[in-house]
Amino acid sequence: MADKITLTIDNQPVTVAPGTTILKAAEQIGVKIPTICYHDYCTANGLCRICVVEVEGSRTLVPACIGKVSEGMKVQTHTERVETSRRTILEMLASSVDLSEAPDIQEYIVEYHADTARFPEAEERQPSVIDDNPMFIRDYAKCILCWRCVQVCADDAQYTYAINFTGRGYETQIGTFFNKSLPETTCVFCGQCVGVCPTGALKPKREWLLQNGFSQNEIMELTRSQRKQHTRREVPVANKVEQE
């Protein structure tokens, strides 16, 4: 096997090692391809498809974060077809998920002129905020199902396997086995899931309580009592949390 591969990306030649993804080859020559589910320290699974590009000879668009380079490949990263696809993905996301705390996605919405009101009949996902531990909250109305949190909880970092996908189709969500509260699972509260979440769906408890109008003293009291009780509460979206 050749130890180097030469291809063109947006008509610019680039030479990389075999096994390199189109995304990484593009980065090498300064071509920016948008990503959402991809994270440099997580296994790429090609879930969101915002990174699609056109590859000459390929019938379908290719996700750049998992598509590998090949000798003589010709890649175009910003054709009309590619941009239409990215715009549609953004419009579909905006129609069903609260993206108010997803700054990267908001930037893409502007860059790709996505019409966030394109699907007015789409049903927004509005599960309650899950507040079941003293460390962080889970607000899955903001979850885009990128899977990063599941991966860092599993083989990409912590090997704890406390969370995974649950449900199917519209009901798909990140959850725990038998919907147990996090303290009842294998979760060790390392916080890695919070660190990789791109949308604010996972948020440190203190930050979330401050945003909901709690004082430092109230927060101390609330987290202290929850540490003892391990209680689970579901808080309707956009409602100020009630102090126990």
Sheet of strand 233-235: strand arrangement = 202-204, 136-138, 129-131, 233-235
Contact 48, 147 (CB under 8 A): no
Does the footprint of ligand FES cover residue 37 (CB under 6 A)? yes
Tell me if residue 8 falls in helix, strand or coil. Answer: strand
Instruction: State yes or no: residue 51 binds ligand FES (CB under 6 A).
Output: yes
Q: How far is the CB of 179 from ligand SF4 (least distance, A)?
A: 16
Q: Between 65 and 129, name the residue whose CB sits nearer to ligand FES.
A: 65
Name the binder of 62 from ligand FES, ligand SF4, none, CB < 5-8 A by kind: none
Which residue is associated with the tokens 């239409």? 84
Of 37 and 75, which CB lies nearer to ligand FES in the complex structure?
A: 37
Q: Does 145 bind ligand SF4 (CB under 6 A)?
A: yes
Pick one of ligand SF4, ligand FES, none as the site partner of residue 182 (Cβ within 5 to 8 A by kind). Answer: none
Please pick, from the candidates 35, 158, 185, 226, the single residue that binds ligand FES as defined by CB under 6 A.
Answer: 35
- Please give the torsion angle defined by the CA atoms of residues 83, 87, 88 and 92, in that order, rounded to the nearest 10 degrees: 160
Give the binding range for ligand SF4 (CB under 6 A) out of 122-130, 138-146, 179-187, 227-235. 138-146
Phi, psi of 201 (to 5 degrees): -65, -30
Q: Taking contact as CB under 6 A, which single stretch among the options 40-48, 118-126, 192-200, 226-234 is the one that binds ligand SF4?
A: 192-200
Residue 67, sorted as left (phi over 0), alpha (psi -120 to 50) or beta, turns out to be beta
With binding defined as CB under 6 A, does residue 38 bind ligand FES?
Answer: yes
CA 168 – CA 123 distance, rounded (Å):
16
Q: What does 146-188 look like in DSSP terms, one character per residue?
A: --HHHHHHTTTTT-----EEES-GGG-EEE-GGG--GGGSS--
The stretch among 56-64, 86-94, 137-145, 210-218 that binds ligand SF4 (CB under 6 A) is 137-145
Size of the site for ligand FES (CB under 6 A): 12
Q: How many CA atoms does the CB half-sphere of 242 hold within 13 Å?
A: 5
> Do strands 173-175 and 164-166 pair parallel, antiparallel, or not at all (unpaired)?
antiparallel
Smallest distance from the beta carbon of 230 to ligand FES, in angstroms? Answer: 35
Return all residues near 47 (Cβ < 8 A) that are at least 6 apart. Answer: 37, 145, 146, 147
Q: What residues numbered 63-82 form the site for ligand SF4, per CB under 6 A? A: none
Among 23, 31, 153, 174, binds ligand SF4 (CB under 6 A): 174
* Nearest distance from C-beta of residue 46 to ligand FES, angstroms: 4
Query: Which residues of the chain form contacts with ligand SF4 (CB under 6 A)?
Result: 143-149, 174, 196-199, 201-202
